[in-house]
Amino acid sequence: MRLFLDTASIDEVRAAARYGVISGVTTNPSLLAKEGGVSYRQRIQEIASVVDGPISAECVSRKADDLVAEARELASWHPNVVVKIPIDSEGLEAIHRCGAEGIKINVTLVFSANQALLAALAGATFLSPFVGRLDDVSYDGMELIRECVHLVETHDLPARVLAASLRHPLHVAQAAAAGAHIGTIPAALIPQMLKHPLTDIGIDRFLADARTAGLI
């Protein structure tokens, strides 16, 4: 499973890029609003200068014609831009039309296998089931990841399953085990994923032994 960073912070992107584990970035207007007035286009281009991979930028229009026009504009910002469109009837039409024009689409707010199937058939590049939001309403978000992966692989559909709304390290490990092709995570999860008390204990013991041996 590849990892994308879910942020509009260029500082978070730069910090995560040092580890070499991030292969893309997902953004949205809510994340951008935290960034103090920077233009969406400027921030996408800044991110693209750091991460050479898919960068999702989200449409805010609600009608198919407007979504397509907005998608064209977003896609013009950089060759790596993937346009985020939520799955509903207007979105589905826009996904199909954008796909016909070669615009890469990340279909968001996927909460069922049927939605994922329709989006994949319409030409989606990425399918984004929102795991945490399903968990919030007492559904098993990881089961939807498994269903979506099974769906695209059984029927040889080109769309990739991008596990979204991953909120803690266990979510990340579970999404990878469920076969998600990509998981998008907030920057705060990277140090949490690294942390384990036995690793800390082991390092402390190695250092103590090294001091005893006169190595440090």
In order of their start, the domains of the chain are 2-212 (3.20.20.70)
84 is annotated as an active-site residue: yes
- What's the predicted TM-score (pTM) here? 0.95
Signed CA dihedral, 156, 114, 74, 82: sign only: negative
| Identified catalytic residue from 34, 84, 104, 195 | 84
What string of pLDDT tens digits covers the 216 residues of the chain?
A: 999 999 999 999 999 999 999 999 999 999 999 998 899 999 999 999 999 999 999 999 999 999 999 999 999 999 999 999 999 999 999 999 999 999 999 999 999 999 999 999 999 999 999 999 999 999 999 999 999 999 999 999 999 999 999 999 999 999 999 999 999 999 999 999 999 999 999 999 999 999 999 998
Nearest-angstrom CA–CA distance, 120 and 69: 21
* Cα of 101 vs its chain's centroid, Å: 23
Q: Are 135 and 141 in contact (CB under 8 A)?
A: yes
DSSP E strands, 118-163:
126-129, 160-163
Tokens of 79: 């060759």
CB within 8 Å of 205: residues ≥ 6 apart? none
- Indicate the residue type of 202: G
Instruction: Indicate the angle between helix axes 113-122 and 89-100, nearest 10 degrees.
Output: 30
Q: Judging by DSSP bridges, how do beta strands 126-129 and 105-110 pair with one another?
A: parallel
Q: What is the spatial distance between Cα 40 and Cα 197, in angstroms, rounded to a whole number?
A: 40
